[in-house]
Amino acid sequence: MSSLIKIDNLSKHYFLSRNTVKAIDNISLKINKKEYVALMGTSGSGKSTLMNIIGCLDTPSKGSYYLNNKNVGELSDNKLAEIRNLEVGFVFQTFNLLPRMNALDNVALPLIYAGYTKDDRIKLAKQALKEVGLSDRVYHKPNELSGGQRQRVAIARALVNSPSIILADEPTGNLDSKNSSDIMKIFKRIHQKGNTIILVTHETEIAKNANRIIKLKDGQILTDEINQ
C-alpha cells in the first residue's frame, strides 16, 4: 500500500519569551492511502498542531512532510492553498458553516475556488448532501438545522471535491451521544468507499472507530497501534 503521508523528524517549536514550547518534537510517521487513523491525546499533546501541519494550515520548524509524494515545505503559498482546497477535506468541531448560505451553497463553496461551473457545483453538492442523508435539507440554512445536521453539511462540504484526506478535528465534540454515533457511522461509510480519514479526538470511544490509533504525549508519539 502506498504512503499518502510521510513525515520525517518533524518538529514544531514556539518561542515564548525565554521558553521554548515543543508542540511537536521530532515525529516520524507514515499514513497509507485508505487508512482510517485516530490521533489521540490530551490538551497540549500536540495532536492539533500535527493536524494543522498535515492539513497545510501550519508549517513545521524543522523536518519534512510529503503529501502524495510532494514535499509540502517546498511549495508556494498559492500551491498550499490549492492543496487545502483540492487534497484535504476539513471537518471541524464547530462546523464552520456560513450562516447566510443554505446547505447547498455551503457545500458547493469549495467548488467555486476549484473552477467548477454552476451546474456542476449544484450537481456535486446535491450528491454530497445525499451521501450524508440530507437530500431533504438542501435549502435549509444552518440555523434551521440541528447540530447533527450541521455536522453532516460540514462532512458533505469536505467530501465534495473528492479529496485525498478527510481531516476531522473533534467532529463530535459539540454533539450528544446519539448524533455522535450517527456521525461516526457516516465516517465509517466514507472509509469503506476508499477514503483516507484522519480523526483527531481525545475521546477513547470515538477513537475506537478507527483502524489505527496513534497516541501523542508532550509532542511525541507515545503509541501507534492497529485497532483490532
Q: Identify whether 126 is part of a domain.
A: yes
Give the model's pLDDT for residue 1.
56
Q: Identify whether 5 is part of a domain.
A: no
Q: Identify whether 204 is part of a domain.
A: yes
Residue 199 has pLDDT above 90, yes or no: yes
DSSP one-letter code for 15:
E
142, 97 contact by CB (below 8 A): yes
Q: Would the pTM count as exceeding 0.85?
A: yes
How do strand 3-16 and strand 19-32 relate by DSSP bridges? antiparallel
Give the model's pLDDT for residue 164.
87
170, 90 contact by CB (below 8 A): no
101, 109 contact by CB (below 8 A): yes
Residue 75 has pLDDT above 80, yes or no: yes
Identify the residue whose cell numbers are 503529501. 67
Average pLDDT, the chain: 93
Residues 65 and 54: their CA atoms lie apart, in Å, by 8
Q: Identify whether 41 is part of a domain.
A: yes
104, 125 contact by CB (below 8 A): yes
Q: Identify whether 219 is part of a domain.
A: yes
Q: Identify whether 187 is part of a domain.
A: yes
What is the 3 state secondary structure string of 201-222? ECCHHHHCCCCEEEEEECCEEE
Give the model's pLDDT for residue 181.
94
- Using one digit for the tens of pLDDT, what is the confidence trace for 130-172? 999 999 999 999 999 999 999 999 999 999 999 989 999 999 9
| Three-state SS at 144 | helix
What's the domain range around 213?
33-60+84-226
Q: Identify whether 18 is part of a domain.
A: no
pLDDT tier at 113, thresholds 50, 70, 90: confident
DSSP states along 27-69? EEEEEETT-EEEEE--TTSSHHHHHHHHTTSS--SEEEEEETT
Residue 96 belongs to domain with CATH number = 3.40.50.300
Q: Identify whether 25 is part of a domain.
A: no
Residue 84 has pLDDT above 70, yes or no: yes
Identify the CA nearest to 167 among candidates 80, 85, 111, 89.
89
DSSP states along 80-129? HHHHHHHTEEEEETT----TTS-HHHHHHHHHHHTT--HHHHHHHHHHHH
Mark residue 115 as left, alpha or beta (left: phi above 0; alpha: psi -120 to 50; beta: remaining).
left
State mean pLDDT over 116-120: 95
List C-alpha distances in Å: 141 to 40, 62, 153, 183, 224: 33, 43, 10, 19, 40
The grid coordinates listed for 137 are: 435539507
What is the number of structural domains in the chain?
A: 1
- Using one digit for the tens of pLDDT, what is the confidence trace for 59-69? 899 999 999 99
Residues 185 and 177: their CA atoms lie apart, in Å, by 12
